[in-house]
Amino acid sequence: MRPAVLDSALADAGADAFVFVGPAGDPLVRALSGATLPCRAAVVYAGRVAVVPERPLPDYVSVHDDARVLDPAATPAERLPDLVGESVLAPRTLPHDAALYLDNAGVDVASTDAHLRARERKTDGELEALRDAQAAAEDGMAAAAALLANADGDPLADDAGDVTAERVRRTANAAMANVGADPETVVAAEGAIAASDPVPIRVTPRVDGYHGWLARTFVADSDGGWERRATLASEYAVDAGIDIVDVGETTVDAAADEVTAELGSYGFPPTAGTGTVHGAGLERRERPAGDDIIEPGATLAVRAELDAEKTVWVADLAVATEEGVERIGAFPRSVVPKPDY
């Protein structure tokens, strides 16, 4: 998060502070405090950050140097009026009780999206966490691919039994957890997997609260037919969405339109193919989005998804720099899974 954006918004509005109250693990509380908190907390930003947790924080939780943790309160929102002046900015998602405490104390509350804009461009520390998360995503994807590659028969099986969508999900999650990430895997399949079935897999692990983004589709015994053409189309579509970006000029929607158009150039109708581009960070989907301009420091999930005869996913995480947009990581996109990467 870049505090200068909040500073500018406060100055423009003549407000004293930015305030929020969020539950355990809330991404905005994490962005402001520098820590994923295990309990509900109120946060106040006024050049520095004050945090009011609902209970004492454990020793392993460490906020950043510009934040201070105040005495806990059973209802953190109740403390807000004592920590601010006459006017504050807050997200539209400020809980109702917090707004009432402020209003009853005579504090003027105005809504803002400055906190979202402040998170569009990542700091060096945030980019490091995102790179670590993407490395964990690649570990998870490699483990899932190895499970498919090392199985045989139809449906696929190994010494542990049938290879099912649930086993694929658990295998990916275990690999990501083993490298210290908070895992999350979605497999667009059900039950036992046939050798010729496309297996779309999406992994979005978190490291220090920041999400990786990676999707691939594997076919254990591919005949090079529809799924091969669909995977190639999706691969080139993701590259097209990355290559078209003129940093500081191109909008997120324009990049997404290019992904969709590239899918169409391979003969897939608009109803079958979807190109999606959006920011990623403390949330799997955040700004920049829509008509936001892609600026240096933005991280983007660039996704091509086909759902026609079968389902195919390809997605990568990318970062915008002064020189252009580049992929974070380099996991192969081949439809045929390998036992090792």
DSSP lists the bridge partners of residue 244 as none
CA separation (Å) from 218 to 140, 221, 269, 276, 285? 14, 9, 22, 20, 24
* Mean pLDDT of all residues in 23-49: 96
* Mean pLDDT of all residues in 124-153: 97
Cα–Cα dist 63/144, whole Å: 35
Q: Order the strands of the 17-22 sheet from edge to edge.
A: 67-69, 49-53, 41-45, 17-22, 87-90, 108-111
CA 188 to chain centroid, in Å, comes to 19
**Cβ burial 240-260 (10 Å sphere, 16+ → b, else e):** bbbebbebeebbbebbbebbb
DSSP string, 153-169: TTTTEETTEE-BHHHHH
- Residue 222's pLDDT band (cuts 50, 70, 90): confident
Q: Please identify, in words, the CATH class of the domain defined by 124-327.
A: alpha beta
> pTM for the full model?
0.91
Give pLDDT tens digits for 153-187: 999 999 999 999 999 999 999 999 999 999 999 99
Give pLDDT tens digits for 65-109: 989 999 999 999 999 999 999 999 999 999 999 999 999 999 999
- Residue 269's pLDDT band (cuts 50, 70, 90): confident
CATH number of 3-118: 3.40.350.10
**What pLDDT score does 278 carry?**
98
Joined tokens for residue 140 = 């998870």
**What pLDDT score does 227 carry?**
85
Q: Is the pLDDT of residue 309 over 90?
A: no
Cα–Cα dist 84/50, whole Å: 10
Contact (CB, 8 A) for 317 and 213: yes
**Mean pLDDT rounded to a whole number for the chain:** 95
Count Cβ atoms below 10 Å from residue 187 Cβ, excluding itself: 21
Count Cβ atoms below 10 Å from residue 138 Cβ, excluding itself: 23
Q: Where are the domains of the chain?
A: 3-118, 124-327
**What pLDDT score does 308 carry?**
80
